[in-house]
Structure 1
Amino acid sequence: MNRILAGLACAGMLLSSVAARAQSPEPLSIVVFGPPSLGAFLPPVIKAQKLDEKNGLAIKFEERTPDAYTAQFNSGEFQLGGSASLLTVGLADIRGVKVTYLFNLFDFWGAVVTSRADVKTLKDLEGKDLAAAKGTTNYVMFDWFARQLGADPAKFSVINTATPGLIGYALADRAAAVQLWEPAYTTLLSKKSDMRTIDLAISDSWKKFTGSRNIPYLGVAAHIDWVEKHQRLIPKLYAAYKEAADWVSAHPDDAAKLIAAKGTPDDQKAIADLIRANDRLGMNVQWASDVAKEIASVYAAGKSIAFLPSEPSAATIYQAPGK
C-alpha cells in the first residue's frame, strides 16, 4: 500500500513539474536601439506592466547603437530585432539575409532643426554640416524627402553620430542643422524651444508619390528560420506590443515616466503631450500583412534613391496567422 501511495506521489510530482515547465514564460532576446529612440519607446512599458509575462514570454531587451544593431541582427547573433526599419529589412533580404518584418510599431516622421539664420530650407544645407545618425533608415527616408524638395543630400557634409548624440549637437549648436526624429525631437524642444524646424513636406510628398499618407517605418523583425521554429510565439509577441501601445495611449502621463525615466518633469510632460497628439510619434501597431501595399511603397522609395538595388522578396512581409 505504501509503495502504491509513494508511486502516486511521485507521479503527481512529475505531472506538476511538467505543468510548471509548460507554464513557464518562453525566454526571448530582442535587440533594440538605446534611448532616445522609437525602438526603446515600448520596451520599458512592456517590462513595467509585465505584458510579456502576461502573454507567456520573458523578454530581455538588449540595447545597441544603430550600426551595432544592424550588424548583430543581420549576423544572426540576435534572431529578433525591435528597432527594425523596413528599408534595413529589405536591404538585408537583398544581400541574402533571410529576415521578415513581423509587424509595424511606428509610421515614419523625421525633422531637421537649426539655430542658424542662414539655413531656411534644405537646399541651404548644401555645402554645410548636418549632424545625423546616417546609419539609420530614418536618415535614408529623409534623403528621399530631401530630394523631393530639390535638395541634393550628396552635397551635405554629414557628421555621423549615434542617436543619443543628436540632441547634444543641437543644444551646443555644433552643426548647421541636425536631422532627428521622435522622441529625441520632443526632448530637444523641451530643452531649447527656440530651435527652428525646416519643413520637409512629408505628407504632401508621400501623397504625391503613393496616393497614401501611411508610411510604415519601424517595427519588429525576425530571422525566417526563427519564425519557422517559433510560429506560436509570434502572436504572443504581437499581443505584448499591442497591449503596451494601447496602455501608452490610455495613460500618457504614466507612460512618459517610464519612457523618459531619467528625464526631467518637463521632459516627461513633453513625451506625454507627444503621445496624446500622436501626429509625430506615429504609433501604429499593425501586422505587416495588413499594410503590405504601403510597405511596397516604402521599398519603391528606397529603390528610387538607389538604397535598395532591387526589389526585396515577398517573404520580408510576414503573413500573420489568419490573414
Structure 2
Amino acid sequence: MSVSSRLRAAALAAGLALLAAPAAEAGTIKLGMTTWVGYGPLFLARDLGYFKEKGLDVELDIIEEASLYMAAVASGELQGNASTIDEIMKYRTPENCFKAVYALDDSHGGDGILAPADVASIADLKGREVAMNEGSVSQFWFSILLKQAGLTEKDVSITNMTADDAAAAFMADRIPVAVTWEPHLTLAKKENKGKVLISSAETPGLIVDVVSLRCDVIANQADDVKALVEGLYKANEYIKTNPDDAYAIMAKGVGGWLSDPKDFAASAAGVNFYGRERNAEFFGGGAAGEAGKLVALGGEIWGGLGKLKMDVKYDDLVDTSFLAK
C-alpha cells in the first residue's frame, strides 16, 4: 500500500494530530510532494545517482494533498517534503518542527488567473466569482494580488475548488474567473478561451518551492542532509548543460501530466530552477533577505486569514547551514 493510501484514513479521522515520530534511519530520506515541474531536480538527482554516490537513498512519493504529506511528516512516515514556503508555514507548530534546507524553484509563469477577455486588471474582479483552492498557494498568491489592488477577499465571491477543477469550470463557462496553473494556462490560450489576466511571471519570488526536513533529521542526519543538498546542486548544473536529457529523465520520474518530455520542457519554461548561486542569493540576508521577507509576507497573509498555528518567524522555518558546505 502506498504512503498516501496508508495515511488517508488516519489523516481524515484525526487531522494532523501529532504522533511520536520514529527515529530517522541514517542513509535514507523520504520526501512527499505533489506533481509539479519544479520538483523535477529531485528525481533527476536520484535517477542520475547523485544522492547514491554520497551514500544517500532518497525515496520520493507523489501525494497530491498537502494535508496528507504534512501529516506524514508530522507522524514520522516521511522525513520531509517539497512544497512552497507559504504552504508549509500553515503546518509549523512548536511540536511539529521542520525547516527548509534548500530552495528548488520559483514559479515564473507556471501559475496564473484565467478571466474573461474584457477584464483588464485585478481591480476589475471586484464583485465577481473566483474559483480557487482555499488554503493553498493559489489563495496565498491571490490574496497578495488583491492587496496590491486595494481589495480583500470580501470584495470577491470565492468558490473553493482544486486548481484543476477551477480551470475545468472556467473552460466550461461555469466559473468566470479561475486561479490555476499549468497546463491549464497554455490550454486556455490554445483554445482562445478568455485570457491569462496575470501570471506568476509578473510576480517574481512570491511562489517559491523548498525542501523542508524534520528538525530531528537535520540534527541527527547531517551527512544525509549535506548529500541531499550537494545532489541537488549537481542536478541543477546538469539541467543547464544537458537540458533535453534532463527533461526526459525528470518527466519519467515526476510522471502524471508531466510524463511527456515535451510537456515537461514546456512547463519548465514557467519556473526558475535554483542551484548553488541562486540559493545563496535567495537565503542571503537572513530575515532581512528575500526568503525572510517571503516568510514575513506568509505570516501576514496566512495570519490574517487565521491559517497559522503559531507565529512563524524566519528562524523557525529555515536552516541554511548546509548550503555553504
CA gap of 1:91–1:263, structure 2 versus 1, over 3 A, is closer
Q: Distance in 2 between matches of 1:58 and 1:188?
A: 37
1:289-322 CA-partner distances (Å, limit 9, x unpaired):
4463112211222233325573425142203245
Alignment of 1:69-218 (within 5 A): 69-83=69-83, 85-94=84-93, 96-109=95-108, 110-114=111-115, 116-181=116-181, 183-184=182-183, 188=187, 192=191, 194-199=193-198, 214-215=205-206, 217-218=208-209
1:129-158 CA-partner distances (Å, limit 9, x unpaired):
323232323431331122112232234333
Higher radius of gyration, 1 or 2: 1
CA gap of 1:225–1:201, structure 2 versus 1, over 3 A, is closer
Residue aligning to 2:235: 244
1:237-256 CA-partner distances (Å, limit 9, x unpaired):
11222222322333333344
CA positional deviation for 1:118: 4.5
Alignment of 1:24-63 (within 5 A): 26-33=27-34, 35=35, 37-38=36-37, 40-63=39-62
Look up the equivalent residue of 1:59 and give its one-letter code. Answer: V
CA gap of 1:260–1:122, structure 2 versus 1, over 3 A, is farther
For the residue of structure 2 that corresponds to 1:282, the secondary structure is strand
Runs of 4+ residues over 6 Å off in structure 1: 262-265
Q: 1:301 aligns with which of 297, 300, 306?
A: 297
Q: Distance in 2 between matches of 1:172 and 1:99?
A: 41
**2:104–2:211 contact (8 Å) kept in structure 1:** yes
Q: 2:225 aligns with which of 220, 234, 237?
A: 234
Look up the equivalent residue of 1:314 and give its one-letter code. Answer: D
Give the aligned CA root-mean-square deviation in angstroms. Answer: 3.5
Look up the equivalent residue of 2:265 and give its one-letter code. Answer: A
Q: Distance in 2 between matches of 1:127 and 1:168?
A: 21
Look up the equivalent residue of 2:105 and give its one-letter code. Answer: F
CA gap of 1:217–1:123, structure 2 versus 1, over 3 A, is same
**1:252–1:273 contact (8 Å) kept in structure 2:** no
Look up the equivalent residue of 2:313 and give its one-letter code. Answer: P
CA gap of 1:172–1:42, structure 2 versus 1, over 3 A, is farther
CA positional deviation for 1:186: 5.8
**1:105–1:218 contact (8 Å) kept in structure 2:** yes
Look up the equivalent residue of 2:119 and give its one-letter code. Answer: V
Q: Distance in 1 between matches of 2:76 and 2:285?
A: 26
Given the two structures, how large is their TM-score scaled by the length of structure 2? 0.71
Q: 1:272 aligns with which of 259, 262, 265?
A: 265
CA gap of 1:106–1:190, structure 2 versus 1, over 3 A, is same
- Between 296-305 and 119-128, the greater mean CA deviation after superposition: 119-128
Runs of 5+ consecutive residues of structure 1 not aligned to the other structure: 1-24, 207-212
Q: Distance in 2 between matches of 1:174 and 1:28?
A: 43
Q: Distance in 2 between matches of 1:236 and 1:230?
A: 10
Residue aligning to 1:6: none
Q: Distance in 2 between matches of 1:174 and 1:40?
A: 32
Q: Distance in 1 between matches of 2:142 and 2:266?
A: 24
Look up the equivalent residue of 2:30 and give its one-letter code. Answer: S
For the residue of structure 1 that corresponds to 2:40, the secondary structure is coil
Given the two structures, how large is their TM-score scaled by the length of structure 1? 0.72
Residue aligning to 2:273: 283
Q: Distance in 2 between matches of 1:144 and 1:32?
A: 24
Look up the equivalent residue of 1:229 and give its one-letter code. Answer: N
